[in-house]
């Protein structure tokens, strides 16, 4: 994987760059739709490519390992061939999912012991094993195994957690460097910066990650219960240390405003389930604000869903029709909302890129923050 830093905004840390993988190029900053179990919920590949214009999607090691399972994925020739997506794929190591199974997992020096949420069967993720799993999945970018501590963790727990994550990282990185991919193309490995909301821990984590000189770096453990201001503070702390010539991936974040603030602070890559999850519940994000499509106010509004939107659904369907579909519990409502929200998120990051390259990012971003947080 190669990264070309093309331009840095003179009034902030916002950057425009280009990531090149064996499955294609990614213009940053970029939002990556989440396809947890080999599919982006309720969205066809044609829509992802041609309408949403996604350049890269995510898969999840935990979920793919359990279902469909490694035998199926290996027989298929990897995730790209299994789901038909021929552009770049990033996989999360499963650390966050194991963290969310707090009552059904145990962390040891060896790794993360957990029970499947599907059938209760016992499993063990070691730093080495998650590399091997991601080799079989065949993602272009894989993540290190880490522990994701809750945002409200006390200092003592956060420090012990970080130290465990760092020891796991050393093992995972060594194993990655000693192994090769299975399908004839190159894979890359991103370490993850943890440390909760404690600046000294984040600094230590960022220094430890930076010295590995991996092709890119991730920032995890944010948007997990800590105040938003703390999240922004931790991004600033970490990006003072992470190398500028490598892409920075902020994991699992977030709202349109979070993404704009992250870009301003030097983040290049984002993912979040919010556009699809909230979309399935009737929340639409637009450049002019947030709409709850279940509200009565849309019942007789026959104007397009989003006149300024980039997706075909924005102009094909009316607000009244979409509200009717939600009230009627029609599956099409969730599909329309998911396509709209993903298209908007991708548009937002690519529009930010245009303004970075034009030298107008800061003015545009300050205006957009007000607009995207407005309730319509």
Residue 334's H or E segment, with its range, is helix 331-358
Tell me what pLDDT residue 157 has: 96
Distance from C-alpha of 347 to C-alpha of 344, rounded to nearest angstrom: 5
221 is in an annotated binding site: yes
86 is in an annotated binding site: no
* Two tokens, residue 93: 């190591």
Distance from C-alpha of 98 to C-alpha of 65, rounded to nearest angstrom: 13
**Of 9, 140, 268, 271, which residue is the catalytic one?**
271
Residue 318 · residue 4 · CB < 8 Å: no
Tell me what pLDDT residue 81 has: 98
Query: pTM of the full predicted structure?
Result: 0.97
The alpha-carbon radius of gyration of the chain (Å, integer) is 20
Tell me what pLDDT residue 97 has: 80
195 is in an annotated binding site: no
Tell me what pLDDT residue 206 has: 98
Task: Mark whether 366 is an active-site residue.
Answer: no
Distance from C-alpha of 307 to C-alpha of 299, rounded to nearest angstrom: 17
77 is in an annotated binding site: no
Is residue 51 reached through a cis peptide bond, with omega within 30 degrees of 0 on the bond before it?
Answer: no
Pairing of strands 217-219, 248-250: parallel
111 is in an annotated binding site: no
Distance from C-alpha of 206 to C-alpha of 162, rounded to nearest angstrom: 11
Tell me which CATH code domain 30-272 carries: 3.20.20.105
Per cent of the chain over pLDDT 90 is: 94
146 is in an annotated binding site: yes
Report the SS3 class of residue 367.
helix
**CA 267, chain centre distance (Å):** 12
Tell me what pLDDT residue 289 has: 98
Q: What residue has token string 């019942």?
A: 299
Backbone angles phi, psi at 63, to 5 degrees: -70, -40
Task: Mark whether 92 is an active-site residue.
Answer: yes
Domain segments of the chain as ranges: 30-272
Tell me what pLDDT residue 314 has: 98
Q: For the segment 276-326, what is each residue's pLDDT rounded down to a tens digit? A: 999 999 999 999 999 999 999 999 999 999 999 999 999 999 999 999 999
* Two tokens, residue 296: 């009565």
* Beta carbons within 10 angstroms of residue 119's beta carbon: 8
Q: What is the mean pLDDT of each run of 10 residues along the chain (376 residues)?
A: 97 97 98 96 97 97 97 98 98 83 85 92 96 98 94 94 98 98 98 97 98 98 92 98 98 97 98 97 98 98 98 98 98 98 98 98 98 97
359 is in an annotated binding site: no
92 is in an annotated binding site: yes
**Of 92, 215, 268, 314, which residue is the catalytic one?**
92
* Beta carbons within 10 angstroms of residue 33's beta carbon: 25
């Amino acid at each position: 994987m190669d990264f070309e830093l093309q331009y840095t905004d003179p009034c902030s840390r916002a950057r425009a760059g280009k990531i090149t993988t064996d499955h294609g190029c990614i213009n940053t900053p970029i939002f990556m739709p989440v396809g947890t179990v080999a599919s982006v919920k309720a969205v066809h590949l044609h829509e992802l490519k041609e309408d949403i214009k996604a350049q890269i999607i995510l898969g999840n090691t935990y979920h793919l390992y359990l279902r469909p399972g490694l035998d199926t994925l290996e027989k298929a020739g990897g995730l790209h061939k299994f789901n038909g997506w021929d552009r770049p794929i990033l996989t999360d190591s499963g650390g966050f999912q194991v963290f969310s199974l707090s009552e059904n997992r145990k962390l040891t020096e060896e790794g993360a012991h957990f029970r499947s949420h599907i059938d209760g069967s016992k499993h063990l993720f070691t730093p080495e094993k998650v590399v091997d799993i991601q080799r079989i999945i065949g993602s272009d970018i894989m993540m290190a195994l880490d522990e994701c501590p809750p945002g409200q963790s006390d200092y003592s727990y956060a420090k012990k957690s970080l130290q465990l994550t760092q020891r796991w990282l050393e093992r995972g990185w060594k194993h990655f460097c000693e192994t090769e991919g299975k399908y004839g193309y190159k894979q890359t490995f991103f370490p993850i910066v943890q440390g909760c909301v404690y600046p000294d821990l984040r600094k230590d984590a960022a220094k430890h990650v930076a010295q590995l000189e991996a092709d890119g770096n991730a920032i995890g453990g944010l948007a997990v219960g800590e105040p938003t201001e703390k999240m922004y503070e931790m991004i600033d702390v970490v990006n003072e240390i992470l190398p500028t010539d490598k892409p920075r991936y902020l994991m699992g974040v977030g709202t349109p405003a979070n993404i704009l603030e992250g870009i301003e602070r030097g983040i290049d890559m984002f993912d979040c389930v919010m556009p699809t999850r909230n979309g399935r519940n009737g929340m639409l994000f637009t450049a002019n604000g947030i709409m709850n499509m279940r509200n009565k106010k849309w019942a007789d509004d026959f104007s397009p869903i989003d006149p300024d939107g980039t997706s075909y659904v924005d102009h094909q369907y009316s607000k009244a029709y979409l509200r009717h579909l939600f009230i009627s519990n029609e599956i099409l409502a969730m599909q329309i909302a998911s396509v709209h929200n993903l298209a908007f998120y991708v548009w937002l990051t690519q529009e930010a890129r245009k303004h970075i390259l034009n030298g107008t990012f800061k003015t545009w971003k300050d205006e957009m923050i007000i607009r995207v947080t407005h309730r319509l």
